[in-house]
Structure 1
Amino acid sequence: MSLSIQRCLLGLSALSPLLLGSPVLHAEPQGAPRVKGVLEEVVVTARRREESLQETPLAVTALGSDYLDAMGVNSIADVETLSPSLQFSQTNYKAPAIFIRGIGQRSGNPVLDPGVGIYLNGVYVPRSDAQLLDAVDVANIQVLRGPQGTLFGKNNIGGALLVDSKRPHIDALELSGRFSLGSYGRKDAKLNANVPWAGDAISTRLALSSKRSDGYIDNVSSSHNLFDEDRLAFSQRTIWDVNDSLEVDFFSFFSRIDERGTPYNCQFQNSGAILTQGVYRGDGGENLQSACDASTALADQFAVSQNDDDAVYAIDNQMHALTLRLPVFGFDLESISSFAFQDNIRISGDSDGTAVRSVGVGANAGIIVFEGGGMTAPEAERNQFTQELKFNGSLFDDALNLTFGVFYAREELTNTLDGTDVGDNGLVGIPGSAVADLPVPVPSDLLLPVQANTASVADYENETKAVFAQATWDANDWLQLTLGLRYTEEERSSVHTMVVPDYDEYANRLNAQIGSDLAILAPVVHLMDGIYSPVSRAQYLAYQAPEVPLVFLPSISGSTTFSEFTPLFTVNMIAPDEFANRLNLDSLIAYVTVSDGFKSGGLDVRSTQTGSNIQQFEPEQVRNTELGVKIDALDQRLRFNMAVYQLDYTDLQVALYERGNTNTEVVQFTGNAGKAVVDGFEVELTALLGNWTVNANAGYTDGDFIEYDLGTNTADGFAIVDRSDEAFPQVPQNVRGMVVQYDWPTEFGLLVPSLQYYYSDEIFIGTDYLSGNYESSFIDQYETYNARLMWDVSEQLNISAYINNLKDTPYFVGGIAVTSVIGVANRVPGAPRHLGVEVSYQFK
Structure 2
Amino acid sequence: MNGRSTRFLLGVATGALVCANAAHAQDSDAAAPEPMPRAEATNPEQPMIVVTAQRRDQDLQDVPVTVTVFGAEEIANARIQAVDDVVTRTVGLSFDAFPSAQPRLFIRGIGSSDRGAAGDPSAGVFLDDIYLGRPAGIAFDAFDIERIEVLKGPQGTLFGRNVVGGAINVITRKPDPAGFDASAEATYGNYDRFDTAAFVNVPFAQNTGAIRVSGAYRSHHGYVRNAFLDEDVSDQETLSGRVQFYAEPTPELRMHFTIDGTRDRATGPANHVVGRDTSDPISALYSINADPDLTYGSDVGYQNRDTIGVRAEISYDLPFARAIFLGSYRDLDYGLRYDFDGGNSNPDSPGFNGVNIGGGQDEKAESSSQEVRLASLPGSAVDWVIGFYHYNQQVRRDDIFILDAAPVAPIPLTEIYDQNSSLDSVAVFGDATVPITDRLSVIGGLRYTRDDKSYHVANTRSDVPLRGSEFFDVATSADFDALTYRAGVNFQPNADHLFYAMVSRGFKSGGFQETPETAVDAATAYEPETATQYEIGQKSTLIDGRLIWNNTLFYLDYEDLQTRQVDPETGGIFTTNAGAATIKGYETQLLARPFDGFDLSVAYAYTDATFDEYVENGVDLAGNRISRTPRHKVSVSPSYTHALPGGVDLTLAADYRYESLIYDDNSNQPPEIRPATHFVDARVMIEGIADHLSLSIWGKNLTDERTRTWQAIFLGAHFAAFNPPRTYGATLRWEY
Considering the TM-score relative to the shorter chain, is it more than 0.5?
yes
254, 276, 289: which one pairs with 2:261? Answer: 254
For the 8 Å contact 1:399–1:475, the answer to whether it is kept is: no
Cα pair 1:263 1:828 within 8 Å, conserved: yes
State the match for 1:757 in structure 2: 656
* Shift in CA distance, 34/145, structure 1 to aligned 2, threshold 3 Å: closer
Counterpart contact for 1:100–1:146, Cα < 8 Å: yes
Whether the aligned pair in 1 keeps the contact of 2:189 and 2:727 (CA below 8 Å) is yes
Structure 2 residue 537 is matched with structure 1 residue 555:
no
Pair 1:404 & 2:386 matched: yes
Structure 1 unaligned residues grouped into runs of 5+? 1-27, 278-286, 365-379, 432-447, 504-528, 532-551, 578-586, 713-719
Shift of 1:38: 0.8
Preserved CA contact (<8 Å) 1:311 1:348 = yes
Cα distance, 1:205 vs structure 2? 0.7
The correspondence of residues 612-627 of structure 1 with structure 2, limited to 5 A, is 613-627=522-536
Alignment pair present for 1:729 and 2:627: yes
For residues 751-802 of structure 1, give each alpha carbon's deviation from its aligned partner in whole angstroms, at most 9, with x where no partner exists.
00111111111111127xxx644x2210111101111001102571111001
Please point out which of 377, 395, 404 is paired with 1:413. Answer: 395
Aligned pairs for 1:766-781 within 5 A: 766=665, 772-773=668-669, 775-781=670-676
Map of 1:15-94 to 2, 5 A cutoff? Answer: 38-91=45-98, 94=101
Q: Is the 8 A contact 2:95 2:628 kept in 1?
A: no
Q: Find the residue that maps to 1:77 and give its secondary structure.
A: helix
**CA deviation after TM superposition for structure 1 residue 476, in Å:** 0.5
1:97-136 superposed matches below 5 A: 97-136=104-143
SS of equivalent to 1:499: coil
Does structure 2 conserve the Cα–Cα contact (< 8 Å) formed by 1:430 and 1:450? no
Please say if residues 579 and 613 of structure 2, whose CA atoms lie closer than 8 Å, have aligned partners that are also in contact.
yes
163, 168, 177: which is aligned to 1:170?
Answer: 177
The alpha-carbon distance between structure 1 residues 530 and 35, as it changes in their structure 2 partners (threshold 3 A), is closer
- CA distance in 2: counterparts of 1:389 and 1:33, whole angstroms: 30
Deviation at 1:638, TM superposition (A): 0.2
Deviation, structure 1 residue 478: 1.7
After TM superposition, the structure 1 stretch with the greater mean CA deviation from structure 2, 596-605 or 560-569, is: 596-605
Contact 1:603 1:614 in 2 (8 A): yes
Q: Would the aligned equivalents of 2:76 and 2:143 in 1 still touch at CA under 8 Å? A: no
CA 217–360 in structure 1, closer or farther in 2 if over 3 Å, else same:
same
* Matching of residue 226 in structure 1 with residue 207 in structure 2: no
| 2:348 corresponds to 1:430 | no
What is the distance in 2 between the residues matched to 1:96 and 1:30? 38
Tell me which of 578, 588, 593 is aligned to 1:688.
593
Task: Provide the C-alpha distance between the structure 1 equivalents of 2:296 and 2:563, rounded to a whole number of angstroms.
Answer: 27
2:557 maps to 648
Range moving further from structure 2, 148-157 or 798-807: 798-807
Within the candidate set 742, 752, 761, 2:640 is matched to 742
Which residue number in structure 1 is paired with residue 685 of structure 2? 790
Matches of 2:442 and 2:338 in 1, distance apart? 48
Cα-to-partner distance string for 1:394-421 (whole Å, 9 max, x where unaligned): 69x933221110100000113x111111
Tell me the SS of whatever aligns to 1:358. Answer: strand
- Measured after TM superposition, the shift of residue 619 of structure 1 is 0.6
Deviations 1:714-760 (A, max 9, x none): xxxxxx33233543111211110111100100014000011111111
* Structure 1 residue 236, shift from structure 2 partner: 1.1
Residue range with higher mean Cα deviation, 208-217 or 197-206: 197-206
Q: Tell me the equivalent position of 2:9.
A: none
Q: Distance in 2 between matches of 1:466 and 1:212?
A: 41
- Other structure's SS at 2:671 match: helix
**Which structure is larger by alpha-carbon Rg, 1 or 2?**
1
In structure 2, the partner of 1:536 is none
Distance 1:679 1:348 in 2: 39
> CA offset at residue 260 of structure 1?
2.0
CA contact (8 A) 1:269 1:776 kept: no
Between the two proteins, what is the percent identity of the paired residues?
24
Following TM superposition, by how much is the alpha carbon of 1:672 offset from its aligned partner in structure 2, in angstroms? 1.1
Counterpart of 1:486, as a letter, is R
CA RMSD of aligned residues (A): 2.8
Say whether 1:667 aligns with 2:572: yes
- Structure 2 partner of 1:482: 443
CA–CA separation in structure 1 for the residues paired with 2:39 and 2:283: 60
CA separation in 2, counterparts of 1:30 and 1:220? 58
For residues 239-266 of structure 1, the C-alpha deviation after alignment (integer angstroms, 9 at most, x for no partner) is: 0212222111001110011112333332
2:360 pairs with 1:362: yes
How far apart, in 2, do the equivalents of 1:39 and 1:308 lie? 55
Please say if residues 390 and 425 of structure 2, whose CA atoms lie closer than 8 Å, have aligned partners that are also in contact.
yes
Of the three residues 490, 500, 520, the one matched with 1:572 is 490
- Aligned residue for 1:232, secondary structure, equals strand
1:319 corresponds in structure 2 to: 309
Question: Partners of 2:735 and 2:446 in 1: how far apart?
Answer: 46
* Count of residues paired in the alignment: 688
TM-score normalized by the length of structure 1: 0.77
1:655 deviates by 2.4
- Give the match for residue 283 of structure 1: none
For the pair 1:836 / 2:732, whether they are aligned, the reply is no
Q: Is 1:800 matched with 2:696?
A: yes
Q: Tell me whether 1:190 sits opposite 2:200 in the alignment.
A: no
CA 502–638 in structure 1, closer or farther in 2 if over 3 Å, else same: closer
| TM-aligned CA deviation for residue 221 of structure 1 | 2.9
Confirm or deny that 1:602 pairs with 2:511.
Answer: yes
Q: CA deviation at 1:813?
A: 4.4
Moved more, 67-76 or 461-470: 67-76
* Cα distance change of structure 1 residues 732 and 216 upon mapping to structure 2, 3 Å threshold: same
Q: Which has the higher contact order (CA 8 A, sep 6+)?
A: 1
Equivalent pair of 2:312/2:327 in contact (CA under 8 Å): yes
In 2, distance between residues paired with 1:145 and 1:530?
40
Alpha-carbon distance in 2 for matches of 1:256, 1:107: 24
The question of whether the paired residues in 2 share the 8 Å contact of 1:605 and 1:612 is answered with no
- AA aligned to 1:685 is L
In structure 1, C-alpha distance between the alignment counterparts of 2:605 and 2:340, rounded to whole Å: 31
* Structure 1 position 337 matched with structure 2 position 337: no
In 2, Cα distance between equivalents of 1:530 and 1:202: 59
Structure 1 position 31, deviation (Å):
13
